[in-house]
Structure 1
């Protein structure tokens, strides 16, 4: 996890970043329209209806299972996006999902609330439609294996409370241990609280630190294949200029991006398998 580009504001992208994203076709709804739009006196179009979210289900404890891949048969690939230290990167990923309809699973940390919360309204219909899922990645991104039992529970519970408040859904049964560090004790604590699936990955853009566009695309070409759970990060701006190339690669290979719910047959309505 790196420091990223944390200069985004709560109310939208700074002008410098907005202009940069315009060049990438990523800022379609990063700023309000001004002038030249609707004729004076014309009725304001009604906002599209957002499907109702299911009630938040109670936690269902169970046996812990570690998942790191789906079935290699077929065309499904799960794109997952961790952290969120970079405001521009969070905005870019949200707009990528909105613009292209790509299914994603976000794994945000609540400690980066100011980077994520400005996009709650844009994400709401995508979450309600099942296009976007949110997984628990703890609140402050600690090494869970170093924490006491109560602190492990608190990290997961605090992040769950934040996700429920901001996005209106539960993260259960999925949690991703920061740095991929987990053991039987940590998984047992999580499972007792309803996070029965510890999510790792079998493909990565390797962008938790700053990398070149060429290296990120080489990782995408290596790992965007059926059955992969691919790990990306909303921490560094390299990915912002590559969404169209990644989309083209997915199309050329006939892949179908899916959420974890879609890959494994789970549901936000129950928070269980």
Structure 2
């Protein structure tokens, strides 16, 4: 997965990037050194990778809408005692209050994925703030989680302005160091496909991005957790990530 560079549009200045990386192989850390946005992530203290000297993994899920898989995902996480952060949109908040409550009650974090899932680099400063505030306030009303410290820009599209505004609002932007094309519900290929794509990228300090709409992910999750643990990995919540590496 490599970054796509996009020029600024709609009159909002600043180079725009679509997050990408050099994938991990053979346990080596993923890298963004060649992607063009390394300095931006450093400047705004964004997360994409943890401490590469420790075999710790951080599970993150993007929940744009519900596709019937989140209950199984939560069941597995609860059974395995693994924490996660779920990045939700406004649609998810409106339609799935019970699942949001369950996430919080079972020790997970809810993060901000914007209200309407726009390309945030193309909207005004005020609109960015509104997109984020609406999610935070709606989640708080449903779950009582009044603090929301983590966000993930929709589609991984960002520029300096998006990171700066969100940082000023108190957010840490969370990207990822493990991902694969899992969001297309018409291209589900079975649990082994998901398992193989995640396991071959495992590396210390990895931030794993999975989409909850994927049936493959839901079916593979328990085996991924078990086999990662067999390799000596542990799972922690993203707020326990204290070292941010930029490989």
Normalising to structure 1: TM-score of the pair? 0.67
Give me the CA root mean square deviation: 2.0
5+ residue gaps, structure 2: 1-42
Answer whether contact 1:90 1:116 (CA < 8 A) is retained: no
Q: Match for residue 162 of structure 1?
A: 138
In the aligned structure 2, how far is the partner of 1:255 from the partner of 1:90?
23
SS at match of 2:52: coil
Q: Match for residue 184 of structure 1?
A: 160
In the aligned structure 2, how far is the partner of 1:158 from the partner of 1:114?
11
In the aligned structure 1, how far is the partner of 2:115 from the partner of 2:147?
12
| CA positional deviation for 1:176 | 0.7
Answer whether contact 2:56 2:235 (CA < 8 A) is retained: yes
Distance 1:171 1:69, change over 3 A: farther
Are 2:111 and 1:116 equivalent residues in the alignment?
A: no
Normalising to structure 2: TM-score of the pair? 0.73
In the aligned structure 1, how far is the partner of 2:148 from the partner of 2:214?
27
Q: Match for residue 49 of structure 2?
A: 69
5+ residue gaps, structure 1: 1-62, 266-273
Bigger Rg over Cα: 1
In the aligned structure 2, how far is the partner of 1:238 from the partner of 1:223?
17
Answer whether contact 2:61 2:87 (CA < 8 A) is retained: yes
The count of residues paired between Structure 1 and Structure 2 equals 198
Q: Match for residue 239 of structure 1?
A: 217
Distance 1:179 1:224, change over 3 A: same
Are 2:74 and 1:97 equivalent residues in the alignment?
A: no
In the aligned structure 2, how far is the partner of 1:124 from the partner of 1:200?
21
Distance 1:173 1:125, change over 3 A: closer
Q: Match for residue 212 of structure 1?
A: 189
| CA positional deviation for 1:119 | 2.3
Are 2:142 and 1:142 equivalent residues in the alignment?
A: no
Q: Match for residue 271 of structure 1?
A: none
Q: Match for residue 152 of structure 1?
A: 128
In the aligned structure 2, how far is the partner of 1:167 from the partner of 1:226?
32
In the aligned structure 2, how far is the partner of 1:123 from the partner of 1:215?
26
| CA positional deviation for 1:156 | 0.5
